[in-house]
Structure 1
Amino acid sequence: MIGLTNIEKRFGDNLVLKGVTVTIAEGSVTALVGPSGGGKSTLLRCINLLEIPTSGTVRIGDETLEFHPGGKVPARDIQRLRLQTGMVFQNFQLFPHRTAIENVMEGLVTVLKWPTERARERARALLEKVGMEHKADAWPATLSGGQQQRVAIARALAPSPKVLLCDEPTSALDPELAQEVVDVLGKLASEGTTMVMATHDLRLASKIAQEVVFLDAGVIVEKGPAAVLFGNPEHQRTKRFIATLKQEAEKEGGGEA
């Protein structure tokens, strides 16, 4: 479903991703975990080309793009691959001058050129899916952080993407509001939505993900089933990191690993 092969990403002289290769199956949920600066968010953003890899290959479904140092990929090819994905950001990024339902409709109307009423019907159904239909006409400023993130999830799902990408979807929320988002993402996972999430939220990753990829210093240290990696990791570096996550979860009154 998603294939990343030998992905390198440089920011100037800083090599952030060092030949990362990973395959993500359709209908699965994969968590990218690791310390800050380890490369997990950069890798996530390389999937939908918000960050253009310096080299390597990105495949989503039938769409494949190759990247080479100094090479230029046509914008239409980038857009075609990007349309296979929906993105949920850390800080919601809702349009403040649009209501909840208008935020969900926006991409359908402006990018995909859907008729307004068709877009409204789709948006209302998605708001119902994330438990926000009662706030369809509310402005983002009147919503809690958890409510805003649920609207953002509905917006990302609107064009029926092949994969939902979540970049630290709970990190801007306190534990109680984060639980709202964990519950929604868990529901989507149970319905077979393909997801890749960069997160340091142990509750989110352990509850929802089937596979976990641990990144540090731009390389994959360890990857495997969530139960194995969280319960009995192989590498010492992974063990230290998971122990730190568990301590943070206990301080916040978070869930169990």
Structure 2
Amino acid sequence: MITLSSINKSFDGNRVLRDIHLTIEEGTVTALIGPSGSGKSTLLRCINLLEIPQSGELTIGIEQIKFAPNARIKGHDIRRISRQTGMVFQNFALFPHMTALDNITEGLVTVHKWDRAHARKRGEALLEKVGMLHKRNALPNTLSGGQQQRVAIARALAPSPAVLLCDEPTSALDPELSGEVVAVLRQLAQEGTTMIMATHDLRLAANIASQVVFLEAGEIVEAGSAKSLFTDAKKPRTAEFIASLSTALPDIGAI
């Protein structure tokens, strides 16, 4: 289980996250939706400590960390929490000079101190899982955007993190290529991978998420199941936001 309690984050006095309370059950998918600037990506970055909250508490499984104003978080505490997470970025963030396989194995060898042969076996298994084993020796610039993102997902999964964090995983892709990535994410969801994704793609949220969280101005306005939010939102602002993007939604009755 992942819990966030009273998480607050500011940049130069601008409060980006306001008193966030959220619980994510193991084996579920949580979609963070909301307008640009609502705090979705910042919330993800606070979970893996790419950004350090000013206050609050974060628990991932048995690992817990507390934040307080002007308190310095030690490096080993950051590593302790960040190793529980795998991050998939909007822009893929692959090493351009490394093959698809090396992009996956490098972190296992240098950070997690795996034996290289063991890391290679793990990398090949994950490339097969995302349908990219045939491209294991390809450089990123020879791959399509969808293929690069699938390699990035495999890399994030390599050390078997407790939670997979996806920051707008399909927004840099055209509809055809995004379909490749959605198929992989759907497969992972069906296998019980715990995921938290920030997305503007309501189709992705409606089809994959167990829980949808609507944020605006750094606050959670409403949270619930995909079906409840997309068909019977309780807060007027949630309903207004969803209605503004309703043409992007699939048949909700199929959720």
Give yes or no for TM over 0.5: yes
Partner of 2:140: 140
Counterparts of 2:80 and 2:180 in 1: how far apart (Å)?
32
> Which secondary structure state, in structure 2, belongs to the residue aligned with residue 171 of structure 1?
coil
Deviations 1:156-176 (A, max 9, x none): 000000000000000000111
Partner of 1:131: 131
Say how many residue pairs are matched: 252
| 1:73 is aligned to 2:73 | yes
Partner of 1:208: 208
Q: Is the 8 A contact 1:99 1:137 kept in 2?
A: yes
> Which secondary structure state, in structure 2, belongs to the residue aligned with residue 159 of structure 1?
coil
Counterparts of 1:13 and 1:48 in 2: how far apart (Å)?
22
| 1:83 is aligned to 2:52 | no
Counterparts of 1:245 and 1:117 in 2: how far apart (Å)?
48
Partner of 2:197: 197
Deviations 1:62-84 (A, max 9, x none): 11100011111111011011000
Partner of 2:177: 177
Q: C-alpha root-mean-square deviation of aligned residues, in Å?
A: 0.9
Counterparts of 1:255 and 1:142 in 2: how far apart (Å)?
33
Matches within 5 A, 1:130-169: 130-169=130-169
Counterparts of 2:245 and 2:44 in 1: how far apart (Å)?
20
Partner of 1:224: 224
Counterparts of 2:191 and 2:132 in 1: how far apart (Å)?
18
Counterpart code for 1:157:
L
Length-normalised TM-score, structure 2: 0.97
Q: Identity across aligned pairs (percent)?
A: 65
Q: Is the 8 A contact 1:200 1:245 kept in 2?
A: no
Counterparts of 2:149 and 2:235 in 1: how far apart (Å)?
34
Q: Is the 8 A contact 1:54 1:68 kept in 2?
A: yes
Residue 244 of structure 1 and its aligned partner are, at CA, apart by: 2.1
Partner of 2:60: 60
Counterparts of 1:228 and 1:255 in 2: how far apart (Å)?
14
Residue 13 of structure 1 and its aligned partner are, at CA, apart by: 1.2
> Which secondary structure state, in structure 2, belongs to the residue aligned with residue 183 of structure 1?
helix
Counterparts of 1:98 and 1:30 in 2: how far apart (Å)?
32
Counterpart code for 2:93:
Q
Deviations 1:36-82 (A, max 9, x none): 01111111111111110010001100111000111111110110110
Counterparts of 2:169 and 2:145 in 1: how far apart (Å)?
11
Partner of 1:49: 49
Residue 187 of structure 1 and its aligned partner are, at CA, apart by: 0.0
Counterparts of 2:251 and 2:198 in 1: how far apart (Å)?
19
Deviations 1:132-162 (A, max 9, x none): 0111111100000000000000000000000
Residue 255 of structure 1 and its aligned partner are, at CA, apart by: 4.2
Residue 246 of structure 1 and its aligned partner are, at CA, apart by: 2.2
Matches within 5 A, 1:7-46: 7-46=7-46
Residue 125 of structure 1 and its aligned partner are, at CA, apart by: 0.2
Counterparts of 2:176 and 2:162 in 1: how far apart (Å)?
29
Counterparts of 2:92 and 2:30 in 1: how far apart (Å)?
21
Q: Is the 8 A contact 1:201 1:245 kept in 2?
A: no
Deviations 1:115-145 (A, max 9, x none): 1111110000000000101111111000000
> Which secondary structure state, in structure 2, belongs to the residue aligned with residue 22 of structure 1?
strand
Counterparts of 1:172 and 1:66 in 2: how far apart (Å)?
34
Counterpart code for 2:50:
L
Deviations 1:188-208 (A, max 9, x none): 000000000000101111110
Gaps of 5+ in 2: none
Counterparts of 1:145 and 1:246 in 2: how far apart (Å)?
26
